[in-house]
């Protein structure tokens, strides 16, 4: 029985067009990914199956598969999964008519860049970790505090922030999701040096007044808007960036020789490569399972965190395997002519280290799984109300 995917002649013809275009517009180092993202948007490939009215190209799912595979082959699939794409999905679900008109099409065309606040990936927030408060003030909110954000570029079109409205009672603070202009007074931006240039940005709010029409969703929905899953991932069954990087490492070890033998011929390297390959494929299975459970409404709430936790661990394993298999040359970037795969392995390690959770093993995703199963320390905000007299007496 043949379970392999067979491409049509029409798909292969389209693949040739996609490959030729990508080869013309990309470079090995890709120093300005936001510029390339805009070029993808001009072709409608950031939302390829959406209609032109929504900024897409109106292509079929078969065509979209080819685009995704070719971007993944070059390690560029992250451009379709960045903060702007996440915001577009959120606006389609939570936004009002004006927000849909102002954001959906321009984001798909690559005209808008977004920085998104780095928060825990669960359906509720730890109030002590949010860092930004919102005080209602007439037709808007006054923001104070500071937080970290992720996103492309030196300065975004929108800063997507979640802030907490402090209540007048003992109830938990209400989170709000706001799309803030970086040009507002009292807002300051800094980008610290990082393993991956521009991966993390710091934003401070000092009495920043934000109009109420920049609210995405209702008051109290901020956590669900900025952290929630807004739709089934249409790419769940396609190869991921982790698989693409694993395949690139396998190909390098097959074609690179040491002592007259391919690197992959050495038994210890073989074992490490096999383990990394298995981890990357199990990750896709978990991702597909999560998407299927969401689509059939059979999930228990922790499936996304489970697949994300495995992906984080598999990425760390692949990074360490790359160092063990390739050696010190894996740390050379694209500017060094001795770097293998044009610096791809260096970018892989930097990206993995930058994304690594600085907390305990598993970090946010492990805590999210534990909370979903009733074994964690977190409590959903809906359960945080003032104690009754009976509760207080226990």
> For 301-344, how does the pLDDT look when each residue is reduced to its tens digit (9 = 90+)?
788 888 888 988 999 999 999 999 999 999 998 888 898 988 88
Q: What is the pLDDT, as a whole number, of residue 301?
A: 76
Alpha helices in the chain (DSSP H): 9-25, 33-42, 61-73, 83-94, 97-99, 105-108, 127-130, 222-227, 241-255, 267-295, 303-326, 344-355, 363-372, 389-393
Q: What is the pLDDT, as a whole number, of residue 60?
A: 94
Q: What is the pLDDT, as a whole number, of residue 284?
A: 87
Reduced to 3 states (helix: H, G, I; strand: E, B; else coil), residue 357 is coil
Q: What is the pLDDT, as a whole number, of residue 198?
A: 56
Q: Count of H helices and E strands in the chain?
A: 14, 9
Q: What is the pLDDT, as a whole number, of residue 121?
A: 52
Residue linked to tokens 């011929």 = 265
Q: Which of 174, 188, 257, 247 minimizes the C-alpha distance to 217?
A: 174
User: Euclidean distance between the first and final Cα of the chain, in Å?
Assistant: 63
CB of 161 closer than 8 Å to CB of 148: no
For residue 176, the cross-strand partners are: 163
pLDDT below 70 — which residues of the chain?
A: 1-5, 27-32, 120-128, 167-171, 194-198, 228-237, 357-364, 376-394
Q: What is the pLDDT, as a whole number, of residue 30?
A: 60
**In whole angstroms, what is the distance from residue 344 CA to residue 334 CA?**
7
CB of 215 closer than 8 Å to CB of 175: no
> For 181-202, how does the pLDDT look when each residue is reduced to its tens digit (9 = 90+)?
999 999 999 987 766 655 789 9
Q: What is the pLDDT, as a whole number, of residue 376?
A: 64
Kindly tell me the sign of the dihedral angle through the C-alpha atoms of 76, 316, 201, 182: positive
Q: What is the pLDDT, as a whole number, of residue 280?
A: 93
**In whole angstroms, what is the distance from residue 225 CA to residue 218 CA?**
9
Q: What is the pLDDT, as a whole number, of residue 154?
A: 86
Burial profile 202-228: b = 16 or more Cβ within 10 angstroms, e = fewer: ebbbeebebeeebbbbeeebbbbbbbb
**In whole angstroms, what is the distance from residue 58 CA to residue 293 CA?**
28
What domains can be seen in the chain, in order of their start residue? Answer: 9-81 (no CATH), 114-227 (2.40.110.10), 241-372 (1.20.140.10)
Residues 6+ apart with CB under 8 A from 80: 40, 46, 68, 71, 235
Q: What is the pLDDT, as a whole number, of residue 379?
A: 47
């Amino acid at each position: 029985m043949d379970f392999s995917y067979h491409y049509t002649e029409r798909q292969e013809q389209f693949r040739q067009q996609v490959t030729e275009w990508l080869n013309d517009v990309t470079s090995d180092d890709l120093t300005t990914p936001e510029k390339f993202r805009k070029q993808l948007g001009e072709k409608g490939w950031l939302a390829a199956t959406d209609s032109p009215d929504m900024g897409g190209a109106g292509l079929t799912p078969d065509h979209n598969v080819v685009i995704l595979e070719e971007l993944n082959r070059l390690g560029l699939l992250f451009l379709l999964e960045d903060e702007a794409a996440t915001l577009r999905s959120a606006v389609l679900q939570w936004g009002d008519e004006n927000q849909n008109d102002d954001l959906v099409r321009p984001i798909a065309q690559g005209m808008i860049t977004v920085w998104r606040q780095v928060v825990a990936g669960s359906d509720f927030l730890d109030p002590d970790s949010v860092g930004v408060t919102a005080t209602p003030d007439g037709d808007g909110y006054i923001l104070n505090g500071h937080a970290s954000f992720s996103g492309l570029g030196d300065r975004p079109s929108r800063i997507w922030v979640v802030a907490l409205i402090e209540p007048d009672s003992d109830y938990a603070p209400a989170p709000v999701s706001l799309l803030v202009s970086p040009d507002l007074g009292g807002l300051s931006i800094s980008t610290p040096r990082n393993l991956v240039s521009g991966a993390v940005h710091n934003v401070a709010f000092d009495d920043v007044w934000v109009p109420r029409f920049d609210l995405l969703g209702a008051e109290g929905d901020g956590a669900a808007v900025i952290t929630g899953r807004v739709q089934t991932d249409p790419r769940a069954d396609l190869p991921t960036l982790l698989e693409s990087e694993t395949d690139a490492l396998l190909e390098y070890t097959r074609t690179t020789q040491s002592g007259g033998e391919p690197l992959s011929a050495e038994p210890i390297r073989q074992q490490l490569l096999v383990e990394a390959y298995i981890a990357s494929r199990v990750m896709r299975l978990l991702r597909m399972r999560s998407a299927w459970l969401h689509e059939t409404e059979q999930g228990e709430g922790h499936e996304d965190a489970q697949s994300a936790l495995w992906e984080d661990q598999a990425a760390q394993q692949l990074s360490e395997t790359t160092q063990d298999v390739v050696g010190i040359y894996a740390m050379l970037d694209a500017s060094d002519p001795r770097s293998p795969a044009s610096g791809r392995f260096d970018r892989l390690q930097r990206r993995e280290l930058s994304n690594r959770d600085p907390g305990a093993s598993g970090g946010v995703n492990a805590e999210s799984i534990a909370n979903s199963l009733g074994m964690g320390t977190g409590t959903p905000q809906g359960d945080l109300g003032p104690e009754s007299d009976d509760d207080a007496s226990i």
